[in-house]
Each structure stands twice: as structure tokens, then as C-alpha cells.
Structure 1
Amino acid sequence: MSPDLWMLLSFAVLLVIGVPVAFSLGLAGAVGIVTGLSPAMLATLGTNTYNSVAKYPLIAIPLFILTGLVFERAGVAGRLVRFAQALIGPRHGGLAIVAVLACMIMGGMSGSGPADAAAVAMVMLPSMTRAGYPRPFTATLIAASASTAILIPPSVALILYSIVVPGVDLRALFAAGLFPGILAGLALMVPAWLLARHYGWESPDNTPRPPLGESFRQAVPALFAPVLILGGLRTGVFTPTEAAVVAVAYGVVVGLWLTRELKWRDLWELLGEAAVISGVVMLIIALAGIFAWSGTMLGVFRHLGEWVIGLTDNGLLLLLLIMLAVLAAGMLLDAISIYLILMPILIPVMQHFGWDPVWFGILLAMNIAIGQFTPPVAVNLMVTTEVAKVRLEQTVDWGLVFVLAMAAALALVVIFPSIALWLPERLGYH
């Protein structure tokens, strides 16, 4: 058996028997080195793991993770929900629309779907349950809405994509994700509103409307966060990595002195929590470096790319097949693992068919977003079902509805690339 097959087969077997993704990547890379190169080349393991994480843009990942945790603890989600309720007003499906809006705005601060889902679910679940929404529906809607965090800047997944794919400007990716993220949110609002009207959830007569002026004043610090991050990037005041530092500092100021729900003693706990989450992410990236180096030296990725290209000459059909494959991967793996595993294979395919790398990155992100609330893994859904105290299998029927809605938004971005590319081109990033 060839070294290529040894490497890929060992990776598949390790995943199947339950070995964590990070160690599966590292061990499979080591198998490729031993079978295809030389056992003496195992001496490169340390260098490869270090080189994988010794990249300046990666500093933004732990900082944006910390930003999300700080804003969650600062009580921002509750203020955003109150403001959205004041905007939407009492109506059938109003709370469902509020949940989607709150997730989208929170996504503009955290860049993380699970963090977004946890913050909004804690606030929205009690009020939606009192209004008559079934808990499985609420858990599924919030999980699906939180997946827009992978698209709406700042996105941790898009930061990694800009590092994995050479020559892609992170500012262009951030700008390109904005309209598809909004489109995905709107696509989720439609079935949520229709289902609420069909089943008679949420009587408008019994739903109080918060005062608009007061709720807006309380939400201003939260609403200003995305403006600060994107405005600073647009004007060139700071780089994407520096934007992450500014976001953390702003979140601390908001929590300590504006909302006053964050205490000094909480910061140490949040730093520790962010360190643990970031450590897991960085471990995956580090051990994936072994897999990437081994695969490149053996020509595994080149061979797989040539095989994918040889499947069909029809670029649209091949794109559809790739999207289905990424969707299936998104149901099992996290976004970071998917980018690290698939992009070395897909970059030659993307170049062969002349697909725009920014547009292609957004398509991948939208696919992965769907996977975040599609069982069996469904990281966002695991968070919301835990908050709602419902079983994962109770959400499947509702989940299919929102998968179809997000798939429709994805199809529009495939057919009309300008949905993603107009803004970065307008801003001069692309």
C-alpha cells in the first residue's frame, strides 16, 4: 500500500475510533512520514508544529474568543434583546425575529457560534417559552441563528482561512461575509415567522413592548462594537490583529463601567476560560502542521486535487459536489479542522476553475455554518439544547426547516457572487 493511502487510512481510522481531531491529524502525519519518507524525518515534528502556530495573524483568534466571553459576561445580550423587542414590537413571530437579530449582532462581537448561542439562549429561552414557543424549536432557531457568527465579521474561521489560503486579504473576507451573513439571518427569519403565525405562538396582546428610546440608549455600547471594529479596519487605524486587541479593551470598558455587570475578579476567570478554548484551537492548528507538511512532501494533496478535478469538467457541478462534501464535514467537524484538512486539497481545484478565493471562502463558511446546527455533532445545537434541557433528537424536524432556509441563502450567493464580492470591491480590498 502506498504512503498516501497509509496516511489517509490511518487518519480515517483514528477519527472513527474516537481519537480527537488534533491527535488524529498529528499521528496520521507521522504515519505518512514513516511510511513515505524516513523515520529519521520524525525529527521535523517539533519544527512543523512550531511553524504552524508562529504566525502573527493567529494572535487575533484568542483575542476575539476573549472578546466574546467578555461581552457575554457584560450583559450585552440582554440589552440587545430588549432593543430588538422595542424595534419589532408585539406580533406573532416577533420574539423569533428578535432572537435572530440578537444572534446576528452578537456575532459581530464574538466571532464564535457556540458563544453566541449560549449568550442569546440564556436570555431568550425563558421569554419565548412563556410566549408559547416549544423549547426544541427555540433551541434550534437560536443555534441556527448563532451560526451566522462564522460569516459576520469578526469571524475566527475566516481569520484561519486567510492564513491557510495564500494571498487572501482578511479585510476582504470580513467585508465579503457581511451581506451573506445578513442574507442568512433573513432566510432564517422567514420560516420562523411563518411557523409562529401557523401555530399561533406568541399572542401580540400579551407581549409588552419595551420603550424604544431607553432600550436604544442601553444597547448603544453593544451596537457600537461592530462599528468600532469594522470602522477601524476600513480607515486603516488598526490591522485585523490590532482590532482584536481594541475589541477586548472596549469590551472590558463596557462591562466594568457602562453595564457594570463585569467585575474585576471576573477577568481572571475569563482569561483562563479563553486560554483553555484557545489552547484547543492552537493544538489543532499545531498538529495539523504535521499533517500538512507530510501530505505536501508526499504529494497527497496534489493527487487528491487532481482526482477531484478529474471528476467532471463542469465547474458548477463540481462546486455542488464540494459544497455537499463540506456540509457533511461540517456535521462532524469544527470549522477550523475543516479548513486545515480540506483547503490543501481544494486550493488546486479553486485555481484550476478560476474561482474567486474570497467568494469561495464565504461559500465554505456558509456550508460550515449549516453544519453547526445539523446533527450528529452540531456544536451550536449542543449548547442550546443543554440550556433548553431538551434532547438533540427532538430538534431534528425543526432543524431541517432551517437547513433548507440557509441552503437557499447559500444558493443565492453561488448564483450571484456579487452578494459577497460587491462590498470588498467597493471598499478597495479586492
Structure 2
Amino acid sequence: MNGPLVMAVLFVGCLAIGVPVPFAAGLATICGLLIADIPLTLLAQSAFTAFEPFPLTTIPMFILAGQLMEKGGMSDRLIEIAKRLVGAYRGGLGLVTVVASMFFAALSGSGPATTAAVGSVTIPAMIKEEYSARFGGALAAAGGAIGSIIPPSNLLIIYALVSDTSIPRLFLAGIVPGVVVGLLLLVAAYAIARYKGFGEKTEPFTWGPLLRAAWDGKWAIGAPIIVLGGIYAGIFTPSEAAGVAVFYGLFVGLFVYRGLTLGKIMESARFTAITIGTVLIILGTTKAFGQLVTVYDIPSDMAALFAPIMEHAWLVLICIAIFYVLVGMWLESIPQIIIFTAVFLPIAQQLGVDPVLFGIITVMTCEIGFLTPPIGVNLFVASKIANVTLEDISAAALPLLIPYVIVLLMMILIPEWVTFLPDLRYGE
């Protein structure tokens, strides 16, 4: 009996009838273990070892830090800085949404969290200024997706754990692509606003209001500087940096901006517990699934499929990226990374592709998945805030996918600009 084929059919079939991803992966794993005559204890052992790596503690702490910073008043200051920076131009509120998303991405580490934090403020403001509700929601969703590539990023941490890749190198590699995507989104938002007639240009830009907003928001700006700067200066590890971020968020929220209350702290802790609980359930079962991929030597079978084009690394990477995007339309990002990294990373390494580059490509395809139905998490979040249907917001998001596709192709065809910063800091 063909174990990999049976596992794939069972996994996809379970997803098709609405079985949650962890249970679908678990059932497929049990089936694969039985076919290979491997004790079922491997499933429990894999789940246990999946929870062992100490860097895993980074994820809940960054989630908690992002929640504390949002509820403590930092997100409001960042949005105000964005308003003063780009709000005076055509489609100003749309530009503010993108810039604020880039700022908040350096605090939250999550695409959906960035969409919710920024979109809850800017989407109602855009609707009030007679922007299209579906455009406002789509732009918040597209801007929020940057939260998964600009460090700190939860998805990059997950990839680092399953691929045994350096988290600091991945974080550094994500900075430039994240900024480039943001700049291209600004161009797209401006072009659409100009074409649709959204957001007339207001008073001209002046430095005074921007400097005052930056001074008022200096504690918010300081968060990513302290956290990321501490990592790259060698002062603390990513896990320690996450702890520092939690302390910083508590301190600023309680004693500087005074936006935090006991109720908000408890709400942040509750949100963090629910989120990390979901992550651990997914991680436990999909880790065993990924190990079976190695047991069945699926990477070698996949490499045989790519044999006719293996001498063209860029073509193989494009094929993998297309596969990831298609899978991302149906599968959540975390199981996608855990399962398919085990399949495709060995192939990429055969081609001489840096695992750091492959990680950034993987997460970039996940960002595109955030913006494509039916499992477009950012679209769900933004559609609820904008009070429009998922179909409407999905259609409005299509032009905003172009910046992500452009940057993805740039990374595949010209990889050096992605790995430049980590190579400069840590050497090749």
C-alpha cells in the first residue's frame, strides 16, 4: 500500500469535510504509522519533542507583548505618526493604514493581529471619509500581512524551529523584503485612491506636526529598536528579547501612556493563552506528520519530479512558490510551514538555496495566503471590521496582491538582496 498517497488523500479528504487541521494531520499520521508498521507512540513522542525547544517560548511572549503594546496605547501613537507622515497626500488614510501596519508589524509579529490593531482604527475612519468599505478593508488586510515578514515574526520563528535555522538571521533577512512590500503597497494604494477618487489631498506636509507626533510616540518607536537592537547587538537572545518586550509593554502601558488596566492585562493574557494553545495543538500533530514525510523519503520522490528542471534553481523555486500559494488558499500558515518545509527544504538545499532565503520565500507565500479565500485569515478579520462580505473584500484585495507577487519573484530571481543583511552581520 502506498503510504504517502493514502496519507495525502486522507489529509485532504478530512480538510474537505471540515475536520480541523490538527485532527486531520493526526488521522493521516496514524494511518501512515500503521502502514509503515511504526509504533503509534511516535505520535506522542513527536508532539512532546515539538514542545521542547526553548525558543518556542518566544512566540507566546511576543504575542503577549504585542497585545500589551496595542492596549497600552502604542498603536494609537504609531497611527498618529503615520498620519503626520503620509496623511496629507491623496488617499492619505489608505497610506496611513500601510505605514501604520509597517510600524505595528515590528511590535506584533502576526499578520492577523496587525490587521485587527490597525484596521479597527483606520477602516472606520476611511468609511467616514467616504472611502469604499471594501477597499478600506482590503488595504488593512494587505497591510496587516506585512506583520508576518517584518521581525519579530511568529511564522519565521516556527520556520526556524522546524528547519533548525537561526532566528536572528531570519529576522534580519525579513526586514528589507518587508519594507519593499510596504513601499509597493503605498504605490498601489495611492494609484487606486487616485483612480477611484478616494481621499482628497488636504493641507501640505510640514515637519512640525510629524516631529511632535514622533516625540509623543517615542516610547512606541523605542520598542522595536530596543528589542531588535538588543538581539543584533548580542545583548540578549530572541527568547530573552521577547521577555524584554513584555516588560517594556507593561512598563510603558502602565506608567507612561497609562492605557493599561488590570482588565486589559487579563484580556491580553487570555488572548495569548488561547492563541498559543491553538499553535501547540497544531504543532504537536503536524510535527509527527512532517517526520513521516522524512521516513517515507518523500523529498527524494519530489526531487525526482523536479529532475527535468533541477539545473534551473529559480524555476524550481517558482514551482514551489506556486504550490505554496495554492495550498495557502486552503491551509493555515503554521501547518503549511511545518508539513511542507520537511518536503521542500531538502530540495532547495540540493539546489544550493540558503535556508534563510527559503524561509523568507515560504513566509511570503503565507502572506499571499492571508489574502486569498477561502482561508484568508486577514480577509476575515478585515471583513468583520468593514462589515462587508468576504467575496467583496477578496475582489478588492486582488490588485493589492501584486506587490507581494513582485517581491516574491524578486527574491527568487535575485536572492542576494534578501540575504545581504544577515550575511553582513553574521557572515556567510
| Shorter-chain TM band | over 0.9
| Cα distance change on mapping 1:306 and 1:394 into 2, 3 Å | same
Deviations 1:260-283, CA, capped at 9 Å, x for gaps: 111123222211210110000011
In structure 2, distance between residues paired with 1:90 and 1:144: 21
The answer to whether the 8 A contact 2:143-2:185 is kept is: yes
| Cα distance change on mapping 1:157 and 1:169 into 2, 3 Å | same
Report how far residue 198 of structure 1 moved. 1.9
| Cα distance change on mapping 1:108 and 1:273 into 2, 3 Å | same
Alignment of 1:16-415 (within 5 A): 16-38=16-38, 41-166=39-164, 168-205=165-202, 211-309=209-307, 313-415=311-413
| Cα distance change on mapping 1:290 and 1:368 into 2, 3 Å | same
Report how far residue 333 of structure 1 moved. 2.0
The answer to whether the 8 A contact 1:32-1:294 is kept is: yes
In structure 1, distance between residues paired with 2:110 and 2:79: 18
Deviations 1:90-119, CA, capped at 9 Å, x for gaps: 221222111101001101010001111001
In structure 2, distance between residues paired with 1:290 and 1:145: 34
1:8 aligns with 2:20: no
| Cα distance change on mapping 1:67 and 1:391 into 2, 3 Å | same
The answer to whether the 8 A contact 1:75-1:261 is kept is: yes
Deviations 1:175-217, CA, capped at 9 Å, x for gaps: 0000000001111111110111122211224899893333112
The answer to whether the 8 A contact 1:49-1:286 is kept is: yes
The answer to whether the 8 A contact 1:169-1:429 is kept is: no
Aligned residue pair count: 427
SS in 2 for 1:90: coil
SS in 2 for 1:204: coil
In structure 2, distance between residues paired with 1:77 and 1:315: 41
Deviations 1:232-260, CA, capped at 9 Å, x for gaps: 00111100111111111111111111111
The answer to whether the 8 A contact 1:30-1:294 is kept is: no
My pick for the range that moved more, 329-338 or 94-103, is 329-338
The answer to whether the 8 A contact 1:117-1:142 is kept is: yes
Name the % identity.
34
Report how far residue 142 of structure 1 moved. 0.8
SS in 2 for 1:211: helix
Report how far residue 389 of structure 1 moved. 0.6
Residue 167 of structure 2 aligns to which amino acid in structure 1? L
| Cα distance change on mapping 1:31 and 1:94 into 2, 3 Å | same
In structure 2, distance between residues paired with 1:395 and 1:206: 30
Report how far residue 31 of structure 1 moved. 0.6
| Cα distance change on mapping 1:388 and 1:89 into 2, 3 Å | closer
In structure 2, distance between residues paired with 1:310 and 1:412: 23
The answer to whether the 8 A contact 2:318-2:412 is kept is: no
Report how far residue 306 of structure 1 moved. 3.7
In structure 2, distance between residues paired with 1:228 and 1:64: 14
Report how far residue 6 of structure 1 moved. 2.0
| Cα distance change on mapping 1:208 and 1:133 into 2, 3 Å | farther
TM-score (norm 1): 0.95
| Cα distance change on mapping 1:293 and 1:406 into 2, 3 Å | closer
| Cα distance change on mapping 1:301 and 1:29 into 2, 3 Å | farther
Report how far residue 89 of structure 1 moved. 4.3
Residue 343 of structure 2 aligns to which amino acid in structure 1? I
In structure 1, distance between residues paired with 2:358 and 2:365: 11
My pick for the range that moved more, 22-31 or 84-93, is 84-93
Structure 2 regions of 5+ residues with no counterpart? none
My pick for the range that moved more, 337-346 or 1-10, is 1-10
My pick for the range that moved more, 202-211 or 390-399, is 202-211
My pick for the range that moved more, 151-160 or 361-370, is 361-370
The answer to whether the 8 A contact 2:22-2:282 is kept is: yes
In structure 2, distance between residues paired with 1:88 and 1:43: 57
In structure 2, distance between residues paired with 1:68 and 1:308: 41
Report how far residue 312 of structure 1 moved. 5.0
The answer to whether the 8 A contact 1:32-1:295 is kept is: no
TM-score (norm 2): 0.95
Match of 1:422 among 401, 420, 423: 420
In structure 1, distance between residues paired with 2:376 and 2:117: 17
Over the residues paired in the alignment, what is the CA RMSD in angstroms? 1.9
The answer to whether the 8 A contact 1:172-1:429 is kept is: no
Residue 390 of structure 2 aligns to which amino acid in structure 1? L
Structure 1 regions of 5+ residues with no counterpart? none
In structure 2, distance between residues paired with 1:65 and 1:309: 42
SS in 2 for 1:37: coil
